[in-house]
Amino acid sequence: MARIVMKFGGTSVADLDRIRNVATRVKREVETGHEVAVVVSAMAGVTNQLVKWCGDLSPLHDAREYDVVVATGEQVTTGLLAIALQTVGVDARSWQGWQVPIRTDSAHGKARIEDIDGSLLVERMGQGQVPVIAGFQGVEPVRNRIATLGRGGSDLSAVAVAAAVRADRCDIYTDVDGIYTTDPRIVPRARKLAAVAYEEMLELASVGAKVLQTRSVELAMKQRVRVQVLSSFEDKPGSLVVDEDEIVEQPLVTGVAYSRDEAKVTLRRLPDKPGIAATVFGPLSEANVNVDMIVQNLGTDGTTDMTFTVGKADLPRARDVLEAQRGSIGFEAMLADPEVAKISIVGIGMRSHAGVAATMFRTLADKGINIQVISTSEIKTSVLVGVEYTELAVRALHTAYGLDGPA
Amino acid sequence: MARIVMKFGGTSVADLDRIRNVATRVKREVETGHEVAVVVSAMAGVTNQLVKWCGDLSPLHDAREYDVVVATGEQVTTGLLAIALQTVGVDARSWQGWQVPIRTDSAHGKARIEDIDGSLLVERMGQGQVPVIAGFQGVEPVRNRIATLGRGGSDLSAVAVAAAVRADRCDIYTDVDGIYTTDPRIVPRARKLAAVAYEEMLELASVGAKVLQTRSVELAMKQRVRVQVLSSFEDKPGSLVVDEDEIVEQPLVTGVAYSRDEAKVTLRRLPDKPGIAATVFGPLSEANVNVDMIVQNLGTDGTTDMTFTVGKADLPRARDVLEAQRGSIGFEAMLADPEVAKISIVGIGMRSHAGVAATMFRTLADKGINIQVISTSEIKTSVLVGVEYTELAVRALHTAYGLDGPA
């Protein structure tokens, strides 16, 4: 017997038939002898309607009232799923954030969970009842008001609840059936991974494989919550996201990720002196522009070139900020190129093996792909290439690291 | 300066434009210098959708979960109206039943308000903030769960909130513009009443003039809350429902009401002995059949005839119950007639004036209308007539008691 938290997203509870389907799945786990708690999102489309109403009334609406309106979406699902569970003979009861309570800070619309009191939930589960908990919401204790965690926050709710009730596993049911070695739309021979380490998942998520919200993976890693990603529409095992110690066979590279959301900026002929990096990146940070990859070339005449990437959406702002600081930074020219893609190989095996990155560079060279920027971390190597090479690069690397499944 | 509770029903908040219109009305009262609290219903149609979902999942759903689902309708309106008020420069905040708190008993789906703590609301109103309170809902304190008051319960919420904050007036905005001397669809010369006594309103409501929910009038009478009924779509004064002492000019008859919702039952040749009424009405009461008018004719041969009315919807059940008890009651025949209407004249002036009912009987006789049953109370006289005479009887009485307005 295990204690399991099951989380169902908006498409999994989009209508009454799907809610009945969820009830059947929950019932199966209960009948296996597990203690089960469920975390649900709003029915697909509902949140968008509620958000639109708030925006139509005022583009600058009170985030506290936005939370009051939007939190009703999850509340409806909890009541309906509790009824559906009771209808198939499973004892169940709905829980709103303020009832558990799930305590958050006061950052309405993007609140952080501070503390979950799991005692009532554990008590009910012990009595054989299934708590059906509203995801995405909590209560901020100072003014006793509803606070929401921001879009996609139901994953975070599920992981936090799993930690609070010391669950053996947190199953995230979604519309994909697991985590793949790379995007199957680009590489048909991509394979579903049986298990991924937290650290790998973080790197994969941050470079574009958006199956799980980054914050929920961070929380799972911190609280050592074992997460499983699986499909709510098919009966297949999913992918586990767990501590690396649990992963028996560790390949050198676990997956190949890509992102087309970045743009490259190059500053030419900067004065090559101490503190120049701070002069460039200080103003960008103040303007809330996130900088990712950074390369500095050594010059010979007392000047240097600097290249870095920013989010594509931030590019106009980054250019304005740098142009305004041109005098104090002292660069000669600024070049910007949004036509780039970041390709990354990720794997905890890279930590203990040399030469993994070399295979990457050779593979790309063999395909005639020019590498514009390189950046590395303990378990990831990323390169920036021309955006038109995205698919070619991903496919070549997937094959080179032996990740291809059966054709 | 006065303290006012304003209540807006579902049609008054049916879409964003109407919610903006409500905000404008509230702003006007605030700018007059009043302290204002607002009670709102769900947007028209929303509650029906939520109720339908629960019913579709299971006809016998858990009332506690039904309450969780249905209470979201009012919650959405509170948040949207708070945003709309802020947008026109009025400080406002939403309040759910559990936040006020509005404490109820545990009769989910038809809960009774037990206690409202008005202190936080009064404090905020004193600071110039408008509380926007979810009608129709509260929290039952034992299990900390949401409880709803049953359909139409938002009127009750408004009156109870008005009592809790010691408001000078509770304004009920609705889709009619006040209380009339009779149904204007039948009598075009019906007049809007400036003021009606609580007792009159109760009699008018219970015989079919359903402007205010009966329970909310009872509560207003008990707590001495002055209620005003007025239109949310027109700028006209409405009708006050107040203590009779406040009504300066008291006519003999305030209004003429009618109901086609009753059916007549006659039991022929019952044994004329003590306790026979209990034998008849005991089983009906146990079967939850409400009996209204009752007449017993004295017989000459040790038997008697008994005639009474029940709700039309209850007629089949009433017949079954009586037929099953035929042996113990001992009647010879049972006749049922659903083709009847109850016509009532209502007025606190009747208490102190004789002969008011005589005018009713003479007027109906002059029109050739046969009276089947008569029942009287302190401030009401009702007669049962053939349903085809409804309009004729109402019009004749309206004229006879001098209620006609200008043509």
- Residue B235 near chain A (CB below 8 Å): no
pLDDT higher than threshold 70 for residue B109: yes
Question: Of A65, A96, A146, which is closest to B82 when you measure between CB atoms?
Answer: A65
Chain A residue numbers touching B67 (CB-CB < 8 A):
79
| Mean pLDDT estimate for chain A | 93
Q: What is the rounded CA–CA span in Å between residue A96 and residue B75?
A: 13
**How many CB atoms are located within 10 Å of the residue A273 CB?**
11
Buried b (16+ CB within 10 A) or exposed e, A324-344: ebeeebebeeeeebeebbbbb
A56 in contact with chain B, both atoms CB, cutoff 8 A? yes
Q: How far is A335 from chain B (nearest CA, A)?
A: 44
| ipTM of this predicted structure | 0.83
Which own/partner contact pairs does A153-156 have at CB distance under 8 Å and 24+ positions apart? A153/A213, A154/A7, A154/A9, A154/A39, A154/A40, A154/A41, A154/A74, A155/A7, A155/A9, A155/A212, A155/A213, A155/A216, A156/A113, A156/A213, A156/A215, A156/A216, A156/A219
pLDDT(B330) > 60: yes
DSSP-assigned beta bridge partners for residue A134: A40
Residues 18-37 of B with CB under 8 A from A: 19-20
CA distance B250 to B287: 41
Domain spans of chain B, in order of start:
3-175
Q: Is residue A206 predicted with pLDDT exceeding 70?
A: no
Whether A346 and A253 have beta carbons less than 8 Å apart is answered as yes
Instruction: Establish if A78 touches chain B: CB-CB under 8 angstroms.
Output: yes
Nearest to A80 among B16, B57, B98 (CB): B57
Contacts of A80 in chain B (CB under 8 A): 53-54, 57, 65, 69
pLDDT tens-digit readout, A70-81? 999 999 999 999
Q: Which of B62, B72, B96 sits opposite A83 (nearest CB)?
A: B62
Give the Cα separation of A158 and A74 in Å (integer).
13
Token pair for B316: 């089949």
Summarize pLDDT for A5-21 with one digit per residue, the tens: 999 999 999 999 999 99
How high is the pLDDT of residue A267? 93
Structure confidence at residue A207 (pLDDT): 57
* Cβ distance of B72 and A76 shorter than 8 Å: yes
- State the smallest CA–CA distance between residue B374 and chain A in angstroms: 48
Rg (CA), chain A: 24
User: Does position B209 have pLDDT exceeding 60, yes or no?
Assistant: no
CATH of B3-175 among 3.40.1160.10, 3.40.720.10, 3.30.2350.10, 1.10.3720.10: 3.40.1160.10
Distance (Å, rounded) from C-alpha A199 to C-alpha B309? 76
pLDDT at residue B314 tops 60: yes
pLDDT at residue B351, rounded to an integer: 85
Whole-number Å distance between alpha carbons of B178 and B191: 10
> Alpha carbon of A301 to those of A179, A273, A277, A305, B22: distances in Å?
49, 12, 18, 11, 71
The answer, for B87 touching chain A at a CB cutoff of 8 Å, is yes
HEC sequence for B330-363: CCCEEEEECCEEEEEEECHHHHHCCCHHHHHHHH
Share of chain B above pLDDT 70, in %: 98
Taking 3-state DSSP, the helix, strand and coil percentages for chain A, each rounded to the nearest 5, stand at 40, 25, 35
Indicate the residue of B16, B54, B86 with minimum beta-carbon distance to A53: B16
In A354-407, the DSSP E strands lie at 373-377, 380-386
Cα distance between residue B387 and residue B381, in whole Å:
18
More confident residue, B225 or B299: B225
Is the minimum CB–CB distance between A120 and chain B shorter than 8 Å?
A: no
Chain B residue with CA closest to A69: the answer is B76
Would you say A54 and A85 are in contact if contact means Cβ atoms under 8 Å apart? no
The residue of chain A with its CA nearest to that of B60 is A87
Question: Best interface-test mutation with A: which of B66, B83, B140 has the largest number of A CBs within 10 A?
Answer: B83
State the Cα–Cα distance between residues B225 and B228, nearest whole angstrom: 10
- Residue A69 at interface with chain B, using a CB cutoff of 8 Å: yes
Summarize the confidence of residues B147-169 as an average pLDDT.
Answer: 93
**C-alpha to C-alpha distance for A319 and B303, rounded to whole angstroms:** 103
The reported pLDDT for the residue numbered A212 is 84
- How many CB pairs below 8 Å do chains A and B form together? 109
DSSP state of B387: G
What pLDDT score was predicted for residue A125? 97
- Containing A291, the helix (H) or strand (E) segment is strand A291-297
A24, A57, A136: best to mutate for the B interface, most B CBs within 10 A: A57
CB contacts of A99 in chain B (<8 Å) are 144-145
A79 contact B CB<8A: yes
Between CA B165 and CA A7 the distance in angstroms is: 42
Residue B114 host element (H or E)? strand B113-116
User: Which pLDDT score, from 0 to 100, does residue B32 have?
Assistant: 95
Look at phi and psi of residue A128 and say left if phi exceeds 0, alpha if psi is from -120 to 50, else beta. left
Query: Is the bond preceding A101 in cis, omega lying within 30 degrees of 0?
Result: yes
Closest CB to A80: pick one of B53, B76, B96: B53
Distances from the Cα of B77 to the Cαs of A72, A136, A183, B71, in angstroms? 11, 20, 42, 11
Q: Does A14 touch chain B (CB under 8 A)?
A: no
